[in-house]
Structure formats: structure tokens, C-alpha cells
């Protein structure tokens, strides 16, 4: 059976022929490879009818070879990730310079939907700023899933990076800023009457002379934070006083001020976490 030849790359004067992993031939010009890439060394490719087999599919190669000719290049703006990812890898592998930058830009656009895959790509091909940009998003993912997807060389750096977030959770997030100063007076003046809603241990403790609703607020926030380090990426949800169980409590302005301080305390700590690229 005669091999199929790609319709776009079937030049009569082509001097190099490649074969995709799914058996499609691409007849291209050696000069274009020489000018646009470093991964296809022209001197090492025979021009005597030899077919060079590649590991990429015909879908990937058809797009890739378009970047080697003087015409409008593919924009890739609606290219699905299952096509974009192997294309980006091929562009880096063969150093197809016109394709590398646009693939890098499009991969960055996929951070929200495919953070781990983008992190692996960015680490492998030395895009440190992109690694650091995507790593915090991965914190919100299931840690076991992330570990399964990461290559071996990224597992230890990832563990060290997550440890920084865990420290923030334990040392700042799970420690409410209850050492009052000026806020003491506002809490004393709040005059809340619903003391029955406060658990007895809290009344006997440090809260007895303050806003009686504050302990309830603290417990609700701690319960949310206690779900794990991933919630640090969703502080809007953590400090949402309109969500259960705080939706049943009329949170006063004094408590709202303390919540702002608490959240700020967490955000400052997160801002001090080193970028993931530091751990590589």
C-alpha cells in the first residue's frame, strides 16, 4: 500500500521527506529546515530518497511545518489543548523558532484548565516565570493528583513548595489575630445580647469581655480553613460571611474589621512564599 502524503507538504522539488508516527509523509525543503530550526540538522538528513521517521503524529507535524514557510502562520487561538500540548513539545524538541513563542503564549493561556501540564512544560523547557505563575494554582488541586502527574524530578521541589503553604496555614491562617489593641473597645461597645449562641468554653476564656458573636465567627472560619492548604487559594470563600453558617449570624462591624485583619495576615504570609522556581 502506497503511503499517504500530506496534501499541504507534497512539493515536487522537496529534498527531504519525513514520516509521521501514523504513517503520513511530509515532503519539505531542506533550506527551510536550515533557516527556521536547529532540531533538524540538514547535514545529517540524507537527500537520496531516505524517509526520516518522526515520533510525532501527522496532526502535529502538519501544523509544525507551516511555521517553516513564508506565509501566515497558524494563530493557535482556538487550538484544543490535546493538539496544542504535543505541538508545543515538538516546537521545543526541534527548536522551530517561529512556533516556540506562540506555543509558549498559548500554553500560558491554558494555565487555569491545565496547570500541572503547563508546569511540566514550563519546567522542562526553562520558562521559570511561567512555572512560578502556575504553581500557586496547583495548590488548589488535589495533592495526590498533582503528584501523579508530575515527573520524578519535580516531586521533591513540589513537596518543599507545598511545605511553605502548609506553614502559612498552620502559623498564620489557623491563628486568628485575637490579640486586640484598639479593637478591644469596639468589641466591648458592640453590646450584642445573644450570649446563648456562644459556647461555654469560649465564654469562660478570653472572649468573655468582648463581642459575644466573635467566637462563633472564629469557629466558622477555622472550620473552613481546616479543610486543607488548598483553601488558601480561595480566601473569598473562606471569609464569606454570607455563606453558611455565618449567614444565620448578624456579623457586626467590629467582627468584620477583625476578619479583614485576619485575611490580611494570611495574604501577607502567602506573599512571602518563595516562587516555585526557587525550589528547582
Mean pLDDT confidence for 252-271: 93
- Give per-residue pLDDT as tens, 13-33: 999 999 999 999 999 999 999
Whole-prediction pTM: 0.76
> Which residue, 265, 267, 176, is CA-closest to 215?
176
236 exposure class (CB count in 10 Å sphere: 0-12, 13-18, 19+) = exposed
189 pLDDT band (50/70/90 cuts)?
very low
Mean pLDDT confidence for 186-205: 43
CA angle 34, 39, 42 (to 5 degrees): 40
Domain boundaries, the chain: 4-110, 130-280
Q: Helix crossing, 253-271 with 183-190: angle to 10°?
A: 150
pLDDT at 59: 98
> Which residue, 49, 63, 57, is CA-closest to 17?
49
- Pairing state between β 24-28 and 16-19: antiparallel
**Stronger pLDDT, 194 or 163, i.e. the higher one:** 163
**Mean pLDDT in the chain?**
86
Superfamily covering domain 4-110: Potassium Channel Kv1.1; Chain A (3.30.710.10)
Q: Is 78 helix (H, G, I), strand (E, B) or coil?
A: coil
Lowest mean pLDDT among 34-43, 86-95, 214-223, 246-255: 34-43
Cell 473569598 sits on residue: 236
**Stronger pLDDT, 72 or 201, i.e. the higher one:** 72
What's the rounded Cα separation, in Å, for the pair 154 and 149?
Answer: 10
Q: Judge whether residue 66 has pLDDT over 60.
A: yes
- Beta-carbon neighbour count of residue 209 at 10 Å? 9
**Stronger pLDDT, 186 or 166, i.e. the higher one:** 166
Amino acid at each position: 500500500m502506497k503511503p499517504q502524503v500530506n496534501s499541504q507538504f507534497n512539493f515536487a522539488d522537496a529534498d527531504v521527506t519525513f514520516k509521521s508516527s501514523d504513517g503520513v509523509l511530509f515532503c519539505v525543503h531542506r533550506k527551510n529546515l536550515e533557516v527556521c530550526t536547529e532540531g533538524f540538522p540538514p547535514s545529517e538528513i540524507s537527500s537520496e530518497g531516505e524517509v526520516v521517521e518522526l515520533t510525532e503524529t501527522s496532526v502535529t507535524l502538519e501544523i509544525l511545518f507551516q511555521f517553516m514557510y513564508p506565509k501566515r502562520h497558524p494563530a493557535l487561538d482556538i487550538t484544543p489543548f490535546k493538539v496544542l500540548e504535543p505541538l508545543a513539545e515538538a516546537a521545543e524538541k526541534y527548536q522551530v523558532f517561529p512556533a516556540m513563542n506562540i506555543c509558549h503564549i498559548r500554553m500560558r493561556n491554558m494555565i487555569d484548565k491545565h496547570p500541572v501540564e503547563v508546569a511540566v512544560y514550563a519546567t522542562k523547557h526553562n520558562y521559570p516565570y511561567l512555572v512560578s505563575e502556575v504553581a500557586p494554582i496547583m495548590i488548589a488541586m488535589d495533592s495526590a493528583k498533582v503528584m501523579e502527574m508530575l515527573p520524578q524530578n519535580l516531586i521533591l521541589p513540589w513537596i518543599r513548595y507545598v511545605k511553605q503553604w502548609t506553614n502559612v496555614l498552620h502559623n498564620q491562617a489557623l491563628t486568628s489575630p485575637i490579640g486586640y489593641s484598639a479593637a478591644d473597645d469596639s468589641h466591648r461597645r458592640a453590646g450584642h445580647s445573644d450570649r446563648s449562641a456562644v459556647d461555654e468554653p469560649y465564654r469562660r476564656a478570653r472572649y468573655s469581655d468582648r463581642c459575644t458573636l466573635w467566637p462563633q465567627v472564629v469557629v466558622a472560619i477555622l472550620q473552613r480553613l481546616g479543610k486543607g492548604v488548598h483553601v488558601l487559594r480561595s480566601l473569598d470563600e473562606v471569609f464569606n460571611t454570607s455563606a453558611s453558617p455565618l449567614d444565620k449570624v448578624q456579623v457586626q462591624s467590629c467582627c468584620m474589621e477583625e476578619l479583614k485583619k485576619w485575611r490580611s495576615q494570611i495574604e501577607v504570609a502567602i506573599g512571602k512564599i518563595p516562587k516555585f522556581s526557587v525550589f528547582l
